[in-house]
Amino acid sequence: MNELTAVRSLATLPVVTLGGDAVAHVKDTVFDPSAGRIASFTLTGRTLLSGPLPRDLPWPAVHCLGRDAVMVRDAGALCDLPLSAVRRDTARGRLLGAQVLTDEGETVGTVLDVLVEGGTSGRLVAFRLAAHRELVHGSRHRRHRVYVPRGEALSVSGRTLVIPAHATAYVSDDVPAFTARVGARHDRGRGAAR
């Protein structure tokens, strides 16, 4: 698996060609919730005072998502779009701030961040939540920031994330513990399938 990256950390990353030219910066990450991956990036200019660009970077044009830059083959990877289309797609594919509910109708919390696989995947892996106290029984932290695996999501839209009630068993308040719980769950699933 590629390194996990928090979507909030992608904002302001440079978009760099394989030739070494910085052609833009990431403004927002747009998701395709049904596919569970990054759909595109909206962009700003290269300087601090540059505003939004009427262009976006579709995921298929990304060569690699790295820790320090989004790599593209060349500047032709950027697509010209009317700014209104970029804003519409951004609103439709925004997950940050979405309300999280269980399939039993209980509010669990709010999406603070999204973890995605870097490299060439762009796959949505998990959600970081500001969770309600009841969700985090043994939490050491007062702020109750937890991770929930994306695979547990029943539906995802720009406004609401619905998870099965049993998914709260995989909640953890740090990435290593989260990874271990999800890994143990997958190992049990593989053992049952044999």
| pLDDT recorded at residue 109 | 86
For the chain, which domains are there? Answer: 4-92 (2.30.30.240), 99-193 (2.30.30)
Mean per-residue pLDDT over the chain, rounded = 77
| pLDDT recorded at residue 139 | 46
Distance of CA 66 to the CA centre of its chain: 14
Measured CA to CA, the distance from residue 70 to residue 119 in angstroms comes to 9
Start-to-end CA span in the chain (Å) = 23
Q: Parallel, antiparallel, or unpaired for β 107-117 and 99-102?
A: antiparallel
Measured CA to CA, the distance from residue 84 to residue 91 in angstroms comes to 11
pLDDT in tens, 80-134: 766 555 555 555 556 778 888 888 888 888 888 988 898 898 998 888 888 875 5
Phi, psi of 42 (to 5 degrees): -85, 155
| pLDDT recorded at residue 52 | 77
Answer whether residue 1 shows pLDDT above 50.
Answer: no
Report residue 21 as tokens. Answer: 């030219």
CB neighbours (10 Å) of residue 33? 20
Do 171 and 146 meet the contact criterion of CB atoms below 8 Å apart? yes
Find the length of the chain: 194
Most confident of 103-107, 134-138, 158-162, 170-174: 103-107
β-bridge partners, 149? 126
26 band by pLDDT with thresholds 50, 70 and 90: very high
| pLDDT recorded at residue 48 | 64
> 62 CB contacts (<8 Å, ≥6 apart)?
38, 41, 70, 71, 72, 77, 120, 122
